């Protein structure tokens, strides 16, 4: 019998379909992997903003994770929005029950594309000190990296050092440059296991359709790892996938705010 490359996403929902759990499942599927999910929150949002978050009790999140991992199993894990310190501890403690699972990608979601906060302020240190060391890769954007570091990142020339500093716990870092004012988007991938910096440039498009780009990139990276790619190849795979999704999605109109990328651009 054949087997699927499997990716489990731990994330909140997005009823508009562009970010969160829905974006993760679309991305994982488009990347030829089998998606399973543990829902951490029901989020009331659309392309214009976030209007409410209904948290799932941490013990119920633990139950979902264990049900998946004890039956379906997984080859990689993608972690998205974790809104509280209690939930972060729950996810970390549950993953520790499965020490063989090492390919864990954390998107340290703190603020939505619309600017709405998604992580409680007192949970930042818990995310940094408790969960990040358990992960293999983190994928912060510039504002998230600045919060984690406690200092500003002034420009592209500071990104390699910032990535290395974020990797202090041994985690590799995909640092996204989309928030910088520049003609190109030059992301940095620091492979902590090889102590190598990789420059990943792409042209900048003028499009409002950037809703869920962080969710999409981290899910593609987790999918690359599930497919058996090495760290750097998985990072390049994710960069190529998100670049294609943004370029294809720019041609569409959905909603009145930040529309989604085209998750199935490689299929239709």
What is the CB neighbour count within 10 angstroms for residue 137?
Answer: 29
How far is it, in rounded angstroms, from Cα 55 to Cα 123? 15
Residue in the structure block whose two tokens are 């409680």: 120
For residue 110, the model assigns a pLDDT of 79
pLDDT value at residue 155: 85
- Model pLDDT for residues 62-113, shown as the tens digit of each residue: 999 999 999 999 999 999 999 899 999 999 999 999 999 999 999 998 766 6
Give pLDDT, residue 204. Answer: 86
Closest CA to 223 of 49, 63, 19, 32: 32
Alpha carbon 75 to chain centroid, angstroms: 16
Res 116: pLDDT: 61
Q: Which domains does the chain have, with CATH numbers?
A: 6-249 (3.40.1190.20)
> 121 Cβ partners below 8 Å, 6+ apart?
none
- The residues assigned a catalytic role are 176, 210, 212-215
Q: Which of 113, 106, 53 is nearest to 83 (CA)?
A: 53
Bridge partners of 187, per DSSP, are 200
Q: Which of 211, 109, 20 is nearest to 9 (CA)?
A: 20
What is the per-residue pLDDT for 117?
Answer: 62
Tell me the average pLDDT of the chain: 94
Nearest to 112 by CA among 154, 23, 197, 49: 49
- Note the pTM of the prediction, 2 decimals: 0.95
Residues of the chain whose pLDDT is less than 70? 111-118, 181
Q: What pLDDT, on the 0 to 100 scale, is given for residue 124?
A: 86
């Amino acid at each position: 019998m054949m087997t699927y490359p499997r990716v489990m996403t731990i994330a909140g929902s997005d009823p508009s379909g562009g970010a969160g759990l829905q974006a993760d499942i679309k991305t994982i599927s488009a990347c030829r992997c089998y998606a399973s999910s543990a829902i951490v929150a029901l989020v009331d949002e659309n392309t214009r903003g976030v209007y409410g978050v209904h948290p799932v009790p941490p013990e119920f999140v633990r139950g979902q994770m264990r049900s998946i991992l004890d039956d379906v199993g997984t080859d990689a894990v993608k972690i998205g929005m974790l809104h509280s310190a209690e939930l972060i501890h729950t996810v970390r403690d549950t993953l520790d029950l499965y020490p063989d699972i090492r390919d864990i990608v954390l998107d340290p979601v703190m603020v939505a594309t619309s600017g709405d906060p998604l992580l409680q302020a007192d949970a930042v240190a818990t995310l940094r000190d408790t969960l990040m060391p358990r992960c293999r890769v983190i994928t912060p954007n510039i504002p998230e990296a600045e919060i984690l570091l406690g200092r500003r990142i002034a420009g592209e020339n500071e990104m390699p050092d910032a990535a290395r500093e974020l990797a202090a716990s041994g985690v590799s870092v995909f640092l996204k440059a989309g928030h910088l004012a520049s003609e190109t988007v030059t992301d940095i991938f620091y492979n902590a296991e090889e102590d190598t910096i990789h420059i990943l440039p792409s042209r900048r498009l003028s499009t409002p359709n950037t809703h869920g780009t962080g969710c999409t990139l981290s899910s593609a990276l987790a999918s690359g790892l599930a497919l058996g790619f090495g760290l750097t190849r998985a990072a390049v795979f994710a960069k190529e996938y998100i670049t294609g999704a943004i370029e294809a999605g720019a041609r569409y109109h959905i909603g009145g705010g930040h529309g989604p990328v085209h998750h199935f651009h490689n299929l239709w």
